[in-house]
Amino acid sequence: MTRSLFILGELLRASVREWSRWLGFALALGLVLASGSAMALLQGGRTEKPGGIIRVLVVYLSEELSDAAIDELGWKLWELEGVKKVSFRFSGDELPGGGVSKGRALLLWIGEEGVASALESEVSRLAGGKVMEVELLTLRYPVPTRLPPLSRVISLVALVFFAFVSLVLARSAVVRTLSHWRNEWDLLRFSGVEPWLLMGDFIAVALLWGLVGCVLYLAIYQGLKGAVGGIPAVREVAPGYLASRAFPYLTAFIIGPVWAALAGGFALLLTLRPGRRPRVSEIPET
């Protein structure tokens, strides 16, 4: 373990000499994660769900009713046919669609308008006549906004492109780092150090640089979320982007490191050419 950590430290020192290439790899990895996130979170295509109407029956209650009685009444009303949901508002609380409650009220979310008149008498009966006023709110909501299907195609193309770029940059960074570490590589190989140990340390270097890209992705994701989160169009087009809390962290610290390790390993295998395994001294220095 001590020997592996020593080799890893020396490799990190050599990689810093090629920091621009490794940083380019990290940025490309961050763009891979961003493109994948866009493809996963953006809503694409036409929606078959049309706009509609929500009807809410606002039942203002007498001050004589206790909190316990109101709670019991709410459960009874929820069991009535045609009632989809029941909620409570204090005086001054905001009502659906705007406006404020004029007093303590139970809100009955119903489907058909014809149900409202039948419910009024039933509500009055269950409340023992202690209903001050009943008001019907009719709310219309628009067709959900969706991006055209092309947006997801563009996200997929960007994902493939940046994945390819990250592999190219990883290969370039590995070749240049090896060229700086040629003497150490030959010495360790001749001294009997296992090839898998050296390869593992090179992959670990790629993973550590990849974590830089993961952190950059996470910072941009959260910063952009805070900047545009209050825009209604963004909430409609990408509701998952604003609602998901775990998604960016799972992407940054699971998918990101896995891709960084795979890219580093693939780049190293291309450089060493499996089956031949040339020494680093055979890699031309530029």
How does pLDDT run across 229-247, given as a tens digit for each residue?
A: 777 666 666 666 767 778 8
pLDDT band at residue 120 using 50, 70 and 90 as cut-offs: confident
Give DSSP secondary structure letters for 129-151: T-EEEEEEEEEEEPPPP-B-THH
Q: What pLDDT, in 10s, does the model give residues 156-211? A: 899 999 999 999 999 999 888 888 777 776 677 677 777 677 788 888 999 999 99
Mean of pLDDT values over 100-128: 81
**Is residue 27 within 8 Å of 213, Cβ to Cβ?**
yes
Q: Which fold has domain 52-141?
A: Alpha-Beta Plaits (3.30.70)
Alpha-carbon gap, residue 175 to 46, rounded angstroms:
47
pLDDT at 75: 87
Alpha-carbon gap, residue 182 to 2, rounded angstroms:
21
pLDDT at 48: 45
pLDDT at 161: 96
Q: Is the pLDDT of residue 46 over 60?
A: no
pLDDT at 246: 86
**Is residue 206 within 8 Å of 170, Cβ to Cβ?**
yes
Range in 56-65, 218-227, 244-253, 276-285 with the lowest mean pLDDT:
276-285
Taking the domains of the chain in order of start, what are their residue ranges? Answer: 2-45+146-282, 52-141
Tell me the sheet residues that pair with 52.
Answer: 141
pLDDT at 257: 94
Global pTM reads 0.58
Left if phi > 0, otherwise alpha if psi is -120 to 50, otherwise beta: which for 231?
beta
Query: Which residue did the predictor score with more confidence, 254 or 50?
Result: 254
